[in-house]
Structure formats: C-alpha cells, structure tokens
Structure 1
Amino acid sequence: MSFKAALGFFVSLAITALLSAGAAWAEPIKLVGFGDSLMAGYQLPASDAFPVKLEAALKARGYDVEIANAGVSGDTSSGGLARLDWSVPDGTKGVILELGANDALRGIAPEETEKNIDAMLTRLKARGIAVLLAGMLAPPNMGADYEKRFNGIYQRMAEKHGVALYPFFLDGVAAQADLQIDDGMHPNPAGVDVMVARILPTAEAFLKSVMAGE
C-alpha cells in the first residue's frame, strides 16, 4: 500500500471513529421511572403520568433525556423486586425508584419493605445504574410504631447505598383534595404537575451526576 493510500485509509478510520463517537454522545440519557400506581399514572391519560411530565420538564431545561414509565399499579416492594431485572433494560443510565406505598397500605412489615428496597438497590448498583430513591411516608392510621419503623427506611437505604434521595414522593400533594382524583390517594394532572415541580431540582442534580458518570 502506498503512503498516500495508507494515509487515506487512516484518515477514513479516524473520521468513522469521530462520527461514531458523535452519534453515541448524541443519544439521549435513558432513565426509568420504576414504581407503583403513583409512577404509572393511575386513572390518568398516559400523557399526564409522572415520567412523561418530568421528562418534558427536564427537556425544557435543555436536557436530552428519555424517561421510560415502568410503573405498575398495585405493585409492592416485593413485586418490584421480582420484575426489576426485566423492567429496567440494558442501556438504562439511571432509575427513579419509587415503591413502598402499597406495602404500608397493606400493613406489610417495614422490615420486609426495607429488605426488598435494599435488594433492588444492590442489584441496580451491580449493573452500574444510578438511582434516585423516592421516599414514602406511612399513613397515619397505621399507628406511631409502624410509622417510626417505616418512615426511616428511605434515609437508611440512601445512606447505605450512597444514592440520591427525594424524601417524600407525594410532597405537596398528600392530603390536598384539589390535587387528587376521587379516591383521595392518587394525584390528578394538577397534582402530578406539583410533584414534578417539587422534585425537579433533585431530578436535575441527579441527571447531571448521571451525565458526569458519577
């Protein structure tokens, strides 16, 4: 091969490599919203679900991001653990993990909920997937002892695994009738807007850490 031909070959290789790198860089950051009916958008149009609205809010701030909705109505922490591996596909960079509300409503032992969340965080960490843990609070009717045992789960798990924490997923919406559907538990579209606005600074910081490879 002549020098000119060899030079052309290597230039072609370099251009191809640069184009490939550019294409990879241009791909959106893929996140998964993994949770129960609060994530899925119970009784709401798909366009009003939390992952859809959070994705839109982040895009409005200039981020190229996709948030898949892996919420399943009625899911408990044990159900989430059982489906975690296939619900979070390869290529996912980060997960917003929101589970535990149904555990509390059913009176499941908080120790069981904590064990399941612990296992989910361990599995995601082993796959190199960052996590934003969205916390939940036990209903007051469960009693003070249950509240104490349940409400500390998320802080403990965030500290143990070194993940980002948003303390209460329903912040600003819980007990606000005008922000809930008729069942008095799930957010309506306006309620989802409040949830997105409240979590947005935390979600943006989380996304930045994912993009930085932290």
Structure 2
Amino acid sequence: MLPVLAFAPNADAAPRAPVIWAFGDSLSAGYGLPPALGFTARLEGALRRAGVAATVRNGGVAGDTAAQARARLRWGLRGLGITPDLVIVELGANDMLRGLPVSQTRTNLDAILTELHERRIPVLLAGMRAAPNLGPEYGRAFDGIYPALAKKHGVARYPFFLDGVAGNRALLQADGMHPNARGVDIIVGRMLPGVRKALRGSAARAG
C-alpha cells in the first residue's frame, strides 16, 4: 500500500469565496416560492453573473419579529459554521404589521447590530416602511428606525427592501404582501449594487 502524503496548506492559495447571510423574515426567506426563486438564490445568481463568486445563505424565518430574530441570532451564526463576510439584516415588517411599539423594534434591531459589530461582521441594513393605515405619527417613527441605527452603528443601508415592488399587484403574491418571482428579481436587481459595495467594504476591512 502506498503511503498517504499530507501537504501543508499553500499560503498563496486563493481566498475563499465570500459568504453572505440573509438574516430576516419571510421576505428574505422566499415565502411562497420554490427555493430556486427566493431572494437568497436569486441574489447569489445575480452576484455570480456579475463576477462575484459569493454564496448567499438563507437565514430568514417566516413570521419573525425583531425580538424573535434577536433571540436566534447567536445560534444562527453558530449554525453557519463560518463567520459570514456580510449579513443582510432584513427585519421589522412583522413588528409593523402587528403594530408593536416602535421603541421595542428599535431596541431589538439595535441589539442585533451591536452583536454583529462586536463580532466584527459587516452589515447591510435593509429598511422597511410602515403601512399608511397605521397613521403618520407611527409611520414617521417606524421609518426613522433604519437611518438612525445605520448612522449609530456605521453600517451600510438599503432604504426599503420592497422598493419598486410594494403596492404593485403584478409583482406580489395573492396575499398582497410577499413578492412573487418577478418581484424578487426586481428587489435583487435594485439591491445588487449596494450588496456589491458592502462586500467590497468588507474585503477592504479584512485586508
């Protein structure tokens, strides 16, 4: 029997492909769609077509509020088995739909961003907007969470996850809330430049 030869890792080996974790609710989880048509799969495909060999992992759980996501953040990161190069935080829609206090949503999102900062994990914060029926006071307070937290934590921000899709029945599923496959592709196309920029920033910090 021939001996098994072990080789030391090559210090000049190419770096691993970046890993993105989409940490959110049903919007990033691809609710109501086949896995291949959901946000994470379509974002990964768009990145690769743009020459970025990234892997996008799905960390979305349908129905999650910011508090529920906060509670699962640490074990979710452990479950990845690797420190992601970027986390897309997409949360708050369920808080808003349930009319939860804005201060509660802000506190939980703040805690999530603090945890990621302490772990030195770059973030792209995807904003949400309040439904008009909740009134202007609630809307102003809720919508203001995202720019304020992005500034506080110094993270990249995408203003509105459903930009270009919200309110357009042709781009939504029958429930009028979740994007259909066409809607997902519009979201991905609009977010792609921001994701690529955030990844470049992550690589620069790592270097």
TM over 0.5: yes
Alignment of structure 1 residues 5-154 onto 2, 5 Å: 16=8, 19-23=10-14, 25=15, 27-88=16-77, 89=80, 90-154=82-146
- CA–CA distance in 2 between the matches of 1:21 and 1:65? 20
Please report the RMSD computed on the Cα atoms of aligned residues, expressed in angstroms: 1.3
- CA–CA distance in 2 between the matches of 1:130 and 1:20? 25
Cα distance, 1:20 vs structure 2: 4.1
The CA deviation string for residues 10-35 of structure 1, in whole angstroms up to 9 with x for no partner, is xxxxx945x14415x1x111110000
Q: Secondary structure at the match of 1:58?
A: helix
Note the residue ranges of structure 2 that are not aligned, 5 or more in a row: 1-6
User: More helix by proportion, 1 or 2?
Assistant: 1
Say which one has the larger Rg. 1
Paired positions, count: 197
The CA deviation string for residues 60-105 of structure 1, in whole angstroms up to 9 with x for no partner, is 1111211100100000000010001111234212100000000000
Say whether the 8 Å CA contact 2:85–2:199 is kept in structure 1. no
Say whether the 8 Å CA contact 2:19–2:55 is kept in structure 1. yes
- CA–CA distance in 2 between the matches of 1:86 and 1:134? 22
- CA–CA distance in 2 between the matches of 1:59 and 1:16? 30
Q: Secondary structure at the match of 1:22?
A: coil
Counterpart position of 2:4: none
Say whether the 8 Å CA contact 2:162–2:187 is kept in structure 1. yes
Amino acid at match of 1:128: R
Tell me which of 177, 181, 184 is aligned to 1:192.
Answer: 184
Provide the identity percentage. Answer: 47
Q: Secondary structure at the match of 2:57?
A: strand
- CA–CA distance in 2 between the matches of 1:213 and 1:16? 27
The CA deviation string for residues 5-62 of structure 1, in whole angstroms up to 9 with x for no partner, is xxxxxxxxxx945x14415x1x111110000000001110001111111111111111
Note the residue ranges of structure 1 that are not aligned, 5 or more in a row: 1-14
- CA–CA distance in 1 between the matches of 2:48 and 2:11? 24
Counterpart position of 2:198: 206
Q: Secondary structure at the match of 1:97?
A: strand
- CA–CA distance in 2 between the matches of 1:64 and 1:16? 25
- Displaced runs of 4 or more, over 4 A: none
